[in-house]
Amino acid sequence: MKIQCTILTGYLGSGKTTFLNSVLRSPELQNTAILINEFGDVGIDQDLVAIDDDDILILEGGCICCEYRGNLAGKIKQITDSYSPERIIIETSGVANPIPVFETFSTIPGLKDHVHCSCVVTVVDSVFGLKNIDSSIEGKLQIASADHIVISKTDMPEGKANLQELSERIRTLNQFANCHLFVNDEVPAALIPRLVNPDGTHLLDHSLPHIGDTAHTHEITFESTGIEFDGCLSLSVVQEWIDDFLTAFAPYTLRLKGLLNLQDNSDMAVLQVVRDIVSPITYVEDDHGNRKNRIVVITCDIHPDLVREELNRLAESIRNSKFSDKDPMLHISRTMF
């Protein structure tokens, strides 16, 4: 019997990892292997997923719809050779076009005989979903290729206000998908059976609306830059850090994620920013025990030297003890499309 595979996609900051954690709490979806695609070289999402590390494989360094499709096949083979999962969930990066990912399962020799990609689930942010649809072909393709669309953040006032217009826009891109509301981190009950036992029919068997070239092209120039450093930070310093960065880069910032070692806390603080909205700090256990701070910011349509200059300025502030009493090790990585 073939292993069922679900592609979980959605634009940057839509809430894919939050949704994935909620899915994994369902008893029906135990014995699921997770493959997480990180955009850029500094990975964070694997530390935010509540599952044993042995069941997670990370595909870093770029978008799996692009040059890493062969690597994707290799990772899936590693999963099937090493474990006996009932299903696989692939969480794509926020800038992925899921159509080439889906096609991988029918074009890579040996893969289609063992794994069946049976479902595409797209998480759509009700706060920024309309803006993402208007500004990005990836946002359109993620919706157009979905079997199931999960609309997140509808508990926020902006999300509620946008819901009707967003739903109408979704229907212009995809008439076949089932739409679900993701409220209070609860997976819609009607969606669980569809993930456990997909019906085997896929939207890509239907004709997609014309929304542009679906080949490997990114309409927006994305930049992933990460820093990694030692030291203990105060919450007030983190707030100042974020204020300074967003003051300079809010118009260009799509996503900022961080795991931070805050004072007087044994867990790692999770920093989440979508465009210019900063979410309340949450905490996860420090599974690695190294207490390293990691921050990844994804920007668009801005020259990388400007972003790097601002990060270097922040790094100098850290070295001057503004942020920490330890000299950091700074790592800057860049991936452009």
337 residues of the chain, pLDDT tens digit each: 788 888 899 998 899 888 988 888 888 888 888 888 765 444 454 454 445 555 556 565 555 554 455 677 787 888 888 778 888 888 888 877 777 777 777 777 777 778 888 788 999 999 999 999 988 888 888 888 888 999 999 999 999 999 999 999 998 888 778 899 998 888 888 888 878 766 555 555 444 444 444 444 555 566 777 777 777 888 887 888 788 888 888 888 877 878 888 888 888 888 878 778 787 888 888 766 778 888 877 777 777 777 777 766 665 655 555 554 443 333 333 333 3
DSSP states of 268-309: EEEEEEETTEEPPPEEE--SSS---EEEEEEEESS-HHHHHH
Task: Name the CATH architecture for the domain at 222-336.
Answer: 2-Layer Sandwich (3.30)
**What's the pLDDT score for residue 8?**
92
Q: How far apart are CA 274 and CA 263, in angstroms?
A: 25
Q: Which fold has domain 3-205?
A: Rossmann fold (3.40.50)
Helices 137-144 and 98-107: angle between axes, nearest 10 degrees: 50
**What's the pLDDT score for residue 181?**
94
| β-pair type (3-10, 148-152) | unpaired
pTM of the model: 0.65
Q: How far apart are CA 180 and CA 166, in angstroms?
A: 13
Q: What is the residue whose two structure tokens read 């208007």?
A: 134
Instruction: Assess contact for 16 and 125: CB atoms under 8 A.
Output: no
**What's the pLDDT score for residue 60?**
55
**What's the pLDDT score for residue 65?**
52
Sorted by where each begins, the domain ranges of the chain are 3-205, 222-336
